[in-house]
A and B are shown apart, each in its own frame.
Chain A
């Protein structure tokens, strides 16, 4: 799976949870940039991403995840 495909699948997970697609995801996107992305929806996005990629994140990785780039890198390492 290339980076573009990962991005597109991650975006799908965001849309499913947030119920809107009014945002761009790049490496530097943080919760401040996306309407509705906060503590609770973050947990749902994480669980949605795990489901769609068939992976399971480690708490240690999630703990230090600060932007979308960190999320993509962690997904890559799990695939």
Chain B
């Protein structure tokens, strides 16, 4: 696999340079190579050749990053679980993937049903960075996103998928990381956006800067920009929404690239943010987990390129080898200028949700393109293409929302809230915009007031914290629209959170 070989070359060629800065401690590529070698040796000695999916507890340390590369060198996939997510959900992920081995750098591991490889206390071994042969169809990772039935949904990504992403980014002359770059890595490794924030810095021999889990991330990011003089930022737009009151105090001339993704980028804030970064190119990336992080981007410029629809910056054009198709309800292509659901085809498309044929039948379809059967993923995002060939984002087609960059199915929250409720009453989860322009979750309950402490305790054991609603309101009778559906828009007005 070409990109895996390139990872090896980069790690060898940059051995004296820094790969990671974690909580003010720097680690070199040499340190990285040592950890990778130890972990892959432990994998080779412990794990059967046929076991391909290996759990990974995503701590903020050198070993966790080294584990990803070690697994790839061994031709295996990582199944990441966040240590701050309830164990029950993480166990579910391992059950669904039949994961028998977990790499865990924690002092003591809480995983009892798997064989644990304790990556922080392994014996020294000789450096070995020679990757094993892999097939392009083999998996590189599986990420789990929020699902509608209370079960998380697995998105498997193959080595070929990742190679497709690398080819597309390499083909983009405007974006090129080098060994002197200092890059922000603010994402949980369970979040697909993290793949681009570790993969491209390592391929370029650059240094990544992580955010300690206990830090107030917005201020920590600013501190890194200011004190470490970061040159490459990859962020979700909500970060700058929260920093916005302080923009006049931010001037970061060292930043040369700033990529956004994982949510709508609004043009007013993009313009103001751009003033803080006088020497920077801004990219508005688009792409779902199912299409290996990125599928395309719009190169924003506050004076020359500021195309937007309803104040949301364009998502631009598909990247190399990717096909965009906008369709109606019957999966038929709609003309330029007409809004429909955006579908993606090309080498980065996932083979399909993990063991979920029902969902796969809904989310994927094939159609003939230039005499070839092309498989498409339906993103659930409403878009249209303009006369110049740029794609513009309109909104979500269903009730999936983005909270702090994470995709959340409102139905999953309702499912868990209702299942623990002492009263069988109607509950609706809603996304509510706070006065900083970010979405927060509210839970509306159709009932007289009652104690919800147990429901919330229960939800905290079932879902990651960003999915647990921060606000609750009791409404005697839910408002309904003419066609009998709950009027979510009106229900939102009960949440006067600002």
Contacts and interface: CB of A to CB of B under 8 A. Distances in A.
Interface string B453-486: 0000000000001000011000000000000000
Nearest to B466: A40
Contact of A63 (B223, B404, B471): B223
Interface string B198-227: 000000000000000011111100110010
A58 interface: yes
B173 interface: no
B216 A59 contact: no
Which secondary structure characterizes the binding site on chain A?
A: helix
21 contacts: A19-B470, A31-B214, A31-B216, A32-B214, A38-B216, A39-B217, A39-B218, A40-B242, A40-B404, A42-B216, A43-B218, A43-B242, A43-B436, A47-B436, A59-B219, A60-B249, A62-B219, A63-B222, A63-B223, A65-B216, A65-B219
A19 B471 contact: yes
B250 interface: yes
Contacts of A40: 242, 404, 438
Interface in A1-56: 19, 31-32, 38-40, 42-44, 47
B245 interface: yes
B217 A59 contact: no
A77 B436 CA distance: 26
Closest 7 CB pairs of A and B: A59-B246, A59-B249, A39-B217, A43-B242, A42-B216, A63-B219, A63-B223
A52 B246 CA distance: 18
Interface of A: 19, 31-32, 38-40, 42-44, 47, 58-60, 62-63, 65
Given A40-B242, A47-B245, A59 B404 contact: no
A42 B214 CA distance: 12
Contacts of A63: 219, 222-223, 226
Contact of B216 (A19, A39, A47, A58): A39
Nearest to A39: B217
A32 B215 CA distance: 10
A63 to B, nearest CB: 5
A63 B228 CA distance: 14
A59 B221 CA distance: 12
A77 to B, nearest CB: 16
A65 B220 CA distance: 10
A32 B436 CA distance: 24
Interface in B91-145: none
A59 B436 contact: no
Contacts of B438: 40
Contacts of B214: 31-32
A38 B214 CA distance: 8
Nearest to B227: A63
Nearest to A43: B242
Given A39-B215, A59-B246, 4 more contacts: A44-B436, A60-B249, A65-B216, A65-B219
A58 B249 CA distance: 8
Contacts of B470: 19
Contacts of B465: 38
A47 B465 CA distance: 22
A43 B245 CA distance: 10
Nearest to A56: B245
A47 B243 CA distance: 11
A65 B216 CA distance: 9
B236 to A, nearest CB: 12
Contacts of A58: 249
A47 B470 CA distance: 17
A64 to B, nearest CB: 8
A59 B222 contact: yes
Contacts of B215: 39
B454 to A, nearest CB: 15
A59 B219 CA distance: 8
Contacts of B218: 39, 43
A59 B471 contact: no
Interface string B427-439: 0000000101010
Contacts of B404: 40
Interface in B398-416: 404
B250 A59 contact: yes
Among A38, A58, A59, find the residue whose CB has the most chain B CB atoms closer than 10 A: A59
